[in-house]
Amino acid sequence: KAGVTQTPRYLIKTRGQQVTLSCSPISGHRSVSWYQQTPGQGLQFLFEYFSETQRNKGNFPGRFSGRQFSNSRSEMNVSTLELGDSALYLCASSRSPGTGRPPNEQFFGPGTRLTVL
Amino acid sequence: GQNIDQPTEMTATEGAIVQINCTYQTSGFNGLFWYQQHAGEAPTFLSYNVLDGLEEKGRFSSFLSRSKGYSYLLLKELQMKDSASYLCAVRAMNTGFQKLVFGTGTRLLVSP
């Protein structure tokens, strides 16, 4: 069974640009969560999607947005990039909430490393 | 809100035992997770505790005390490949089912 895939793996942008990252969950998983990982802050939750609906959102500015498609694939978009947006962006997928043990076992993708110059 | 603390870095030698502590403050606690993350790779699930006590899985064990807001990950018979960051994460019901709040991670260096 293929794992979570993220594209692109590496990305270099300049301040003010916008970027779109893609995540394909494990087949059969309908929940996708996004996290930002930086050395100083660790992993921080961005948002979660389930059945094409945003179910939960972290404390990030409106420049960060996302969506989920009917096939459960998800994208996140960051507009007007800032230097501080340089980070590893991780996507995690899981089955429908409440199933399995642990009920929230998330499988992470390899991440997209974004560098903003 | 939630607050999670774990040591930044630890060192140990091959074959030894190491305990990585995690303390948390949260309301509506609904589970604590430990993940392992090797440099440049995705985090991988290690353990899950929702009730007090010890969960053992091979060389790895995880303990939880909900009354103390405390957990630890115990690694036995350390191997070089155990050098990685270990992330403690808490789920709280009032933050939504899938949202995990992570600590900043403990970098473990295993030396020969």
> What tens digit of pLDDT does each residue of B45-57 get?
999 999 999 999 8
Residue A1 has pLDDT above 70, yes or no: no
Confidence class of residue B105 from pLDDT cuts 50, 70 and 90? Answer: very high
A2's torsion region: left (phi>0), alpha (psi -120 to 50) or beta? beta
Residue A61 has pLDDT above 70, yes or no: yes
> Mapping DSSP to helix (H, G, I), strand (E, B) and coil, where does residue B81 land?
helix
pLDDT reported for residue B86: 98
Confidence class of residue B77 from pLDDT cuts 50, 70 and 90? Answer: very high
Condensed to tens digits (0 to 9), the pLDDT of residues B5-27 reads 999 999 999 999 999 999 999 88
Asked if A44's CB is within 8 angstroms of B102's CB, the reply is yes
Condensed to tens digits (0 to 9), the pLDDT of residues A74-106 reads 999 999 999 999 999 999 998 865 555 666 678
Asked if A48's CB is within 8 angstroms of B104's CB, the reply is no
Distance of residue B4 Cα from the nearest chain A Cα, in angstroms: 11
pLDDT reported for residue B96: 58
Strands B84-92 and B106-111: antiparallel
Condensed to tens digits (0 to 9), the pLDDT of residues B85-102 reads 999 999 876 655 667 889
Interface test with chain B among A31, A68, A106, A107, by most B beta carbons within 10 Å? A106
Asked if B102's CB is within 8 angstroms of A43's CB, the reply is yes
pLDDT reported for residue A16: 97
Condensed to tens digits (0 to 9), the pLDDT of residues A3-55 reads 999 999 999 999 999 999 999 999 999 999 999 999 878 899 999 998 899 98
Interface test with chain A among B99, B102, B106, by most A beta carbons within 10 Å? B99
Task: Output phi, psi for A26, to 5 deg.
Answer: -60, 140
- Any chain B CB within 8 A of the CB of A44? yes
Residue A114 has pLDDT above 70, yes or no: yes
> Mapping DSSP to helix (H, G, I), strand (E, B) and coil, where does residue B75 land?
strand
Asked if A90's CB is within 8 angstroms of B43's CB, the reply is yes
pLDDT reported for residue B15: 97
Q: Are the C-beta atoms of residues B102 and B95 closer than 8 Å to each other? A: no
pLDDT reported for residue A100: 52
Distance of residue B101 Cα from the nearest chain A Cα, in angstroms: 7
